[in-house]
Amino acid sequence: MNGESNIVESTGKTVDEAIETALEDLKLSRNDVEIEILEEPTKGLFGLLGGKPARVRVRTKITATGRAKEMLNNVMRAMKLDVNIEAVEKNERVIINISGPDLGILIGRRGETLDALQYLVNLSANKNVEKRKRIIIDIEGYRKRREETLMKLAFKLADKARQRGRNVVLEPMNSMERRIIHTALQERDDIYTFSEGEEPYRKIIISPKRG
């Protein structure tokens, strides 16, 4: 392996085998890298002695997605976590799913650690790249479960605000979670929602409509 964390040189019986070894070391797919063939394999005397393996150099592409995956791989290695990282690009967004055992430490209380990790990855991955991407990191489907929990909470507290005829104030949430609440309740004609306060203590108010 080369000294730089985003470059790997590897060998194999064939070029493809050498490339696959390098991709395994980097934990990336072929779409995430640039491949340079340094040496084609050669057969030795009578196909047995003196042959040389294929040698390739594989370099991480300088893209937001490639940088994000590289940074996450480095973090996971430092934390000694065995994970699988998959990235799916959708227009201007990149959704990165991390799976593996015992990943609660990466989620934290109500996703606070996950949100902090996502913020740092977005800053690092989008630095000096031609095409910026909004990177969303999920761990074992946590965000989907959290979204479902928030939607149920939104409907429950909206009913409470309507029945009691007064405002219901939710706990502070990040902008992504507030958007889930607002979107879940935007079709209701008996209540309305708005946000107040400064980050990171900004919160949603659910208010009943009068008459």
Alpha helices in 79-141 (DSSP H): 104-107, 112-125
Structure token digits, residue 28 = 């990336």
Query: Is 1 among the domain residues?
Result: no
Cα–Cα separations (whole angstroms), residue 56 to 3, 7, 70, 74, 83: 15, 10, 19, 22, 26
Structure token digits, residue 96 = 């990165």
The range of the structural domain enclosing residue 176 comes to 144-208
- Other beta carbons within 10 angstroms of residue 50's beta carbon come to 9
**How many independent structural domains does the chain possess?**
3
Regarding whether 151 and 134 lie in a shared domain, the answer is no
Tokens 């606070």, residue located: 112
CATH number at residue 104: 3.30.300.20
Regarding whether 111 and 85 lie in a shared domain, the answer is yes
Regarding whether 198 and 155 lie in a shared domain, the answer is yes
Query: Is 77 among the domain residues?
Result: yes
Regarding whether 55 and 68 lie in a shared domain, the answer is no
Rounded to two decimals, the pTM is: 0.66
Last residue of a domain, one of 15, 44, 59: 59
Query: Is 2 among the domain residues?
Result: no
Beta-sheet strand order (sheet of 203-208): 168-169, 203-208, 191-196
Regarding whether 177 and 165 lie in a shared domain, the answer is yes
Regarding whether 154 and 131 lie in a shared domain, the answer is no
Closest CA to 59 of 104, 2, 18: 2
Q: Which regions of the chain does DSSP assign to beta strands (E)?
A: 7-12, 33-39, 54-60, 84-90, 93-99, 134-139, 168-169, 191-196, 203-208
Alpha carbons 190 and 188: distance in angstroms, whole number: 6
Residue 49 DSSP one-character state: B
Low-confidence residues of the chain, pLDDT below 70?
Answer: 1-5, 44-50, 211
Alpha carbons 197 and 194: distance in angstroms, whole number: 11
CATH number at residue 189: 3.30.1370.50
Looking at residue 107, its amino acid is I
Regarding whether 108 and 72 lie in a shared domain, the answer is yes
Query: Is 131 among the domain residues?
Result: yes
Alpha carbons 90 and 71: distance in angstroms, whole number: 20
